[in-house]
Amino acid sequence: RLLTREGEIRIAKRIEEGLNQVKAALCLFPPTFDHLRISYEIIRAGEARLTDLLTGFVDPNAPDEIAQPNAKTQEEKDKEKAEDTGPDPAEADKRLKSIFRRQKRLMSTIETDGREAKKVINAQQKLTGELAEINLAPKLFEALCNNLRGTIGSIRQLEKQVMVICIREAGMARKEFIASFPKNETNLNWVDKHIRAKRKYSSILSKMKPDIQRAQRKLQAIKVETGMSIAEIKDVNR
């Protein structure tokens, strides 16, 4: 059964809402903006095209429309192609610089007030709103998503290494590990507490301490690189 125009609009809106949810998650992940800045610097240096970063702008006040199929002559198609010069560089510069300034202020506010502060949440919403009004180039958008997914994947892999050592090799109860390790992912003193506890698993943990702390140091590197705690990064992915 063919979709009605209203049905097409509803589907388009759901797709747009889904993309905006992903953009909202990316806005919470500081490396997103490092990637955008570097990409824009490359463009300004003349080594890439603006369309490699963005394809246009979204007017939040524009009416809902679905393009209607119609037959066009080759002459009309050629004319449209000639007229389509891509996004306005001046407008792109204005919007991107505004986004970068807002994100810089947001990071400063997070540093002083914490991520749970009301003004931080409001600032994040405004930043998300600004980014939502830019149509990022598909390849760049995918690269940003892959960057976040890759970081989450690395965290899970390192956490699994520690979990296998503690549960499978040392014999710590899974319930105990789950209650203890979260929020201590980068705390190098965490394993010492369990060694001092003199439980059945303590002697093996003592032998495996270098391996546990090696994984934790890699988690520390992720924390430094992203400017976020491991728990905060995982929250972004939820």
Quote the percentage of the chain above a pLDDT of 70. Answer: 81
Is there a contact between 200 and 171 (Cβ–Cβ < 8 Å)? Answer: yes
Domain range summary for the chain, segments of one domain joined by +: 1-64+88-136, 150-238
Average per-residue pLDDT for the chain: 87
Single-letter residue type at 121:
I
Predicted pLDDT at 58: 85
9 falls in which pLDDT band (50, 70, 90)?
low
Predicted pLDDT at 69: 47
Rg (CA), the chain: 24
Position with higher pLDDT, 208 vs 83: 208
Is there a contact between 190 and 208 (Cβ–Cβ < 8 Å)? Answer: no
Mean pLDDT check: name the lowest of 22-26, 50-54, 175-179. Answer: 22-26
Position with higher pLDDT, 153 vs 65: 153
* Res. 59: pLDDT tops 90: no
Is there a contact between 186 and 220 (Cβ–Cβ < 8 Å)? Answer: yes
Position with higher pLDDT, 158 vs 63: 158
Third-level CATH fold of 1-64+88-136: RNA Polymerase Primary Sigma Factor (1.10.601)
3-state secondary structure the chain: CCCCHHHHHHHHHHHHHHHHHHHHHHHCCCHHHHHHHHHHHHHHCCCCCHHHCEEEECCCCCCCCCCCCCCCCHHHHHHHHHHCCCCCHHHHHHHHHHHHHHHHHHHHHHHHHCCCCHHHHHHHHHHHHHHHCEEECHHHHHHHHHHHHHHHHHHHHHHHHHHHHHHHHCCCCHHHHHHHCCCCCCCCCHHHHHHHCCCCCHHHHHHHHHHHHHHHHHHHHHHHHHCCCHHHHHHHCC
What dihedral angle (degrees, nearest 10) is formed by the CA atoms of 165, 170, 171, 174?
-30
Q: How far apart are CA 143 and CA 153, in angstroms?
A: 15
Mean pLDDT of 184-201: 96
Is there a contact between 194 and 171 (Cβ–Cβ < 8 Å)? Answer: no
Please indicate, yes or no, whether the overall pTM of this predicted structure exceeds 0.75. yes
Contacts of 13 (CB under 8 A, 6+ apart): 64
Position with higher pLDDT, 5 vs 135: 135
* Res. 65: pLDDT tops 60: no
